[in-house]
Amino acid sequence: MAVTSDLVVAIVLGPQWEAVVTPLQILCIYGALYSSQALFGHVLLWTGRFRANMWCNVLAAIVLPAAFYVGARWGLVGIAWAWVVAFPLVTLPNLVVTFRAVAINVWPWIGACAPSLLACMIMVVAVLLVRAMLPASASPPICLAASIATGVFVYSLMLASLFRGRLKQMAGFLRSIRAQS
């Protein structure tokens, strides 16, 4: 979405919404950060660490609005950057407590994120190259379709070629779950 937001906004919302393109691109970074830690609070609750979860949420309730207030001086882009910068800061204590609760360190978590991160980086480069090669006269829907097709193809190819073993493990896990039900 970060590399095609200008096309998506132009097609879906229209040219009057052009000002949201940059904040949307920045918030895509937040989306990636959020999706990699979305279960931390739940793990704290499931492991009985209610107090730690509460204090992590109190920290977020204090820091995030203050960051938005500061970022608002630079408009939507400033607020988006405030979110991207402040969110990891308030998530860090949550990450530490969660990893201690389940007795793992950060490296297995990073290792689990590595395939999708690498495939995403290669996909972004491929989409940007395709967009650069398209003629300037190409319509936004054609550019978007070419970008999406390139992204899907390259991401799938990277996972299938670089992380085939991991994909086989996931498929086996899903088959075992289906067999149990």
Compute the CA torsion angle 78, 80, 83, 88 (nearest 10 deg).
Answer: -110
pLDDT band at residue 139 under the 50/70/90 scheme = very high
Q: State residue 179's pLDDT score.
A: 87
d(C-alpha 152, C-alpha 163), whole Å: 16
Categorize the per-residue pLDDT at 46 as very low, low, confident or very high, splitting at 50, 70 and 90.
very high
Task: Report in angstroms the alpha-carbon separations of 2 from 10, 88, 139, 179.
Answer: 14, 19, 19, 39
pLDDT over 90 for what percent of the chain? 74
pLDDT in tens, 47-61: 999 999 999 999 999
The model's confidence at residue 38, banded by pLDDT at 50, 70 and 90, is: confident
> What per-residue confidence (pLDDT) applies to 141?
95
Residue 66: predicted pLDDT: 97
Q: Which of 24-33, 63-72, 98-107 has the highest mean pLDDT?
A: 63-72
Structure-model confidence comparison of residues 159 and 63, the more confident one:
63
Q: Which two tokens stand for residue 71?
A: 């970022």
For the chain, percent of residues with pLDDT exceeding 70: 100
Note the pLDDT of residue 129.
97
User: pLDDT at residue 113 above 90?
Assistant: no
**Helix, strand, coil distribution of the chain in percent, nearest 5:** 85, 0, 15
Per-residue pLDDT, 123: 96
Q: Does residue 29 have a pLDDT over 90?
A: no
Average pLDDT of the segment spanning 159-175: 89
Q: Which two tokens stand for residue 178?
A: 């289906």
Contact assessment for residue 44 and residue 97, using Cβ atoms and an 8 Å cutoff: yes
Q: Is the pTM of this model over 0.75?
A: yes
What is the residue-averaged pLDDT of the chain?
Answer: 92
The answer to whether 109 and 156 are in contact (CB under 8 A) is no
Note whether 19 and 11 are within 8 A (CB): no
